Amino acid sequence: MSSSPPRELDVLLSSLATSISALQASIESQGFPPLRSDDLAPHPLDTGIPDPVSFYARRAIIGLCQQIVELVQDPAERSFIDHYGFLLPECLAAATETRPSVAETVLAAGSEGISLKVVSEKTGIDAIKLRSISRMLAIKGYIKEVSVGHFVPTRLTRSLAPEGGPAVPMNIILPGYAAAATMVPQVMHLPSDSIHPTAFEVFFKMPFFSWLQQNPAELKLFHIGMTVIENKLDKGISADVYLDDLGPKITLVDIGAGHGGMVMQFLKRHPEWKAVLQDREEVIPAARQFWQDNMPEALETGRISFLVHSFFESTPLPPASEGYPYVFMIKSTLHNWPDDTVKLMLQNLVPAAPPGTKLLIVNFTPSIPDGPHSMTVDEYFEQIKGKGMKEVQALNLPTPIPLNAGFGAGSEYVADMDNLMLLLFNSRARTTEDFKELLETTSWRLEGSTQLRGASSMLRAYRV
């Protein structure tokens, strides 16, 4: 008599237990303190770049917990709750915008906590409104209600304090996103290109970047928010990119470079590399000052140069200097543009890119379902145990069973960005297969993709 297949909930719970054990063993082996919801000090896993086991165990735990919720919760209740998801950003904004803010006030109270009445007096927020806001924040773990109307901070409370994360600088812009999102159903049947309007354009009657230019306060906070997001959520961009094989002498051309912070890290690692930062005219003075403040010797020796240029036009770069071939890099840019514009941007590099020229693309890259495989969570963590990130990258392991593609909710931020790009730009967070198709229509070929500890991946291509 054949045995019955394991029950889905049992499989999920067993995988969750394995993932928790892997995380706790990794924390203990590094001498880190255990994770505690009432620990207000930043945990080492939050402040640095987690080791591979900790990084993937956290993703697995989040993904498996969400799958358990999906399995056990009444579907009607789940969809009802999700329909009211727009209320959370408003509560986060309310908790951070007063001075002092709700988050600062609760944090200052420490483990003894603080009453709703005192928080209301200190922040000036009406006590009745604060009651509702606080309950939402408590359900989501940003604060904890230990008795009726009495709150203590949690480790999540820190993320709402100034300098704690992207929530504060993004508050002014988020309501604009939410309002424009109501227009998505009206544009769903239009092609996703640069000709047809985005949901944001339908609502605001202008493209997103034009709107930012007309709203300087929002523009300033947008740049701050983007920097914080990269520093907090995409730490692996700098740590997990290995480029030694490009050679000891290259000229790295950063397209849409901004200040060029990532290029600066590469030049520090590779003392004979040179770089060109390409961006709009209004960006270059601040970029030059950034290098003057942080790496003036690169300016003095000519290792860094600046090129005023729009990536919508063919590159004016002269042929590369003898012995210093160009390597092009496009970081955190292509997701802002629909496919027809991305094709134009890639084609505009070709005049300065002889066959064989390398192209590096750093971008949000959603995972797609792996082919058939039988790797379990237990086997996955056994494979990566004790290995560095470069070794883990080389293994190229699939997402273990029973997790959804890309660790499911463990990579929810990428799914959020995917839909935000739809809303703002008629674009998307492209998969490796999406990039493969785009590159092949513009004289480039995809070589491969490398996982990073964060929301992004590094893709490599070459000119054919």
pLDDT digits (tens, 9 = 90+) for 372-414: 999 999 999 999 999 999 999 999 999 999 999 999 999 998 9
| pLDDT of 1 higher than 60 | no
Q: How far apart are the first and last CA of the chain?
A: 59
Q: How far apart are CA 94 and CA 441, in angstroms?
A: 47
Torsion, CA 306, CA 449, CA 367, CA 384, rounded to 10? -120
pLDDT at 329: 97
> Sorting pLDDT into bands at 50, 70 and 90, what band is 27?
very high
- For residue 75, whether the previous peptide bond is cis, meaning omega lies within 30 degrees of 0, is no
Q: Does residue 172 surpass a pLDDT of 60?
A: no
Percent of the chain with pLDDT over 90: 76
Give the type of residue at 26: S
User: What's the rounded Cα separation, in Å, for the pair 326 and 321?
Assistant: 9
The C-alpha atoms of residue 88 and residue 137 are separated, in whole angstroms, by 8
Select from 6, 9, 21 the least CA-distant residue to 380.
Answer: 21
Say what the pLDDT of residue 221 is.
73
Indicate the pLDDT class of residue 154, thresholds 50, 70 and 90: very high
**What's the pLDDT at 311?**
94
Q: What is the pLDDT of residue 111?
A: 94
Task: Name the pLDDT band for 4 (thresholds 50, 70, 90).
Answer: confident
Rounded CA-CA distance 10/432 in Å is 33
Instruction: Please list the residues that pair with 358 across neighbouring strands.
Output: 327, 462
- pLDDT digit string, tens, across residues 376-385: 999 999 999 9
The predicted pLDDT at position 219 comes to 77
115-120 average pLDDT score: 97
In this model, does residue 366 exceed pLDDT 90?
no
DSSP-derived pairing of the beta strands 304-308 and 274-279: parallel
| Residues 98 and 25 sit within 8 Å (Cβ to Cβ) | no
Q: What does the DSSP assignment read for 218-254?
A: HHHHHHHHHHHHHHHH-THHHHS---GGG-SS-EEEE
Mean pLDDT of the chain: 92
CB-based burial label for 201 (10 Å; 0-12, 13-18, 19+):
buried
Give the tens place of pLDDT for each residue, 227-285.
Answer: 667 666 677 787 899 999 999 999 999 999 988 888 999 999 999 999 999 999 988 99
- The residue with greater pLDDT, 67 or 49, is 67
What is the per-residue pLDDT for 308? 96
pLDDT of 2 > 70? The answer is: no
**Which residues are CB-contacts of 7 (< 8 A; sequence separation ≥ 6)?**
none
Confidence of residue 179 (pLDDT cuts 50, 70, 90): confident
More confident residue, 418 or 238: 418
CA distance 223 to 279: 15
pLDDT in tens, 63-96: 999 999 999 999 999 999 999 988 888 898 888 8
Answer yes or no: is pLDDT of 369 > 90.
no
* pLDDT on residue 248: 95
pLDDT digits (tens, 9 = 90+) for 305-314: 999 999 999 9
Report d(CA 50, CA 26) in Å as an integer. 10
Per-residue pLDDT, 168: 63
Q: How far apart are CA 172 and CA 225, in angstroms?
A: 11
Q: Which amino acid is at 387?
A: K
Per-residue pLDDT at 104 exceeds 70: yes
The pLDDT, as a whole number, for residue 18 is 98
Amino acid identity, position 224: I
Name the CATH topology of 234-365+430-463: Rossmann fold (3.40.50)
Q: Where is 291: in which H helix or E strand? A: helix 284-294
